[in-house]
Amino acid sequence: MNFLLPGIGAGLVSALLTAVIVKATPLAAVLYLLSPIPVLIVSLGWNHRAGLVAALVGGLAIALVLSPMSGLGFALVTALPAWWLAYLALLGRPAADGSIEWYPTGRLLTWVAATAALTVVAAGIVSTGWNYDTFLANAREVAEAFVNLQFPQGQPNSLDAETRAGVIDLFARVTPFLSAQGFTAVLALYLWAAAKIVALSKRLPRPWPPVPELIMPRTAAIVLGACLLTLPLGLEGFISVFATALAGALFMAFALQGLAAIHDRTRGNAVRGFILSALYVVLFLTQGILMIALSLFGIADSVFGLRRRFPGRRGPKLPQTPST
């Protein structure tokens, strides 16, 4: 029962980081974004039961201080996704040689994407009371604010009324895609950071594999293709929201694999630091345009096994990854 106190403490800390969002300040927004990390740390450092305790305690605290709906939102959007990813990360089974075969990080990243998509949908359902029209109206407000920021009215680069309406409608439709993209990157970063923090305290049960060894299963590429094919069909309802969000989440996950592949192929290179630094600078300056190329590279790496077929001269050979 030694997981109870850490779970309670993590739940209260996570709830506090979530509740400060009512202050509506930049610092409060940053603290709110960090709220899943205590649940991840306690789940990885103790066990998944501690994460469940944190989710329950944090949800109850938010419900009592703010509102029951806010407590439910905390559980669905913040605590349970963090607990689930930590639970998967610690899955293992005995191998033939007596060692432990841990859950592959490629499959774990696939679940990060799926969890991000489900969380985006869950947040939409909780905030609108399962009203799809309200969800579209909220998405349109966000899209309109973004377009007005990028193309202010009355400026030389302003859009005419018809073009502006079309751009706003387009952005409203792809809001779940973009939201899931960002949340996938955030969840992946949080999981990696939490694992590193727990590893420093010697409480992480599994060895955390290097980033360059990340390879997602081929089925993830198939699912991404299926989701993209549904986008032109004009489906309605939260099923279409989930398909759009899952497409964006997997797109980002494959972009992260593309980054991992570049990290792998540059191992042993004398100018590796310069190459990687230049890559991240270009990635930052292009505001994500490079992500398209990285995602396509990641998809090709999974589907065709580029790194297994063409291993680097000095990098260690990657293990064979199941296709499903």
Kindly report the average pLDDT of the chain as a whole number.
89
Rounded alpha-carbon distances, angstroms, from residue 321 to 166, 177, 317: 44, 28, 12
Angle made by CA atoms 193, 286, 24, in degrees to the nearest 5: 55
> Among 119, 127, 120, which residue's Cα sits nearest to residue 70?
127
Global pTM value? 0.90
Distances (CA, A) of 62 to 21, 53, 71, 151: 12, 14, 5, 38
> Which of 225, 220, 212 is CA-nearest to residue 258?
212
Task: Give the pLDDT of residue 315.
Answer: 47
**CB 249, CB 180: distance < 8 Å:** yes
Amino acid at the residue 7: G
State the pLDDT at residue 157: 67
- Mind listing the pLDDT tens digit for each residue in 15-52? 999 999 888 788 888 899 999 999 999 999 999 999 99
Alpha-carbon separation of residue 7 from 28, 52, 81, 164, 221 (angstroms): 23, 7, 15, 49, 36
Of residues 129 and 64, more confidence is placed in: 64
Closest CA to 242 of 188, 183, 176, 186: 176
Query: How far apart are alpha carbons 41 and 172 in whole angstroms?
Result: 35
Report whether pLDDT(320) > 60. Answer: no
- Nearest in space to 223 (alpha carbons), one of 324, 297, 312: 324
Q: Give strand pairing partners of 93.
A: 101
pLDDT band at 284 (very low <50, low <70, confident <90, very high): confident
- pLDDT surpassing 70 at residue 273: yes
pLDDT of residue 198: 95
- State the pLDDT at residue 254: 97
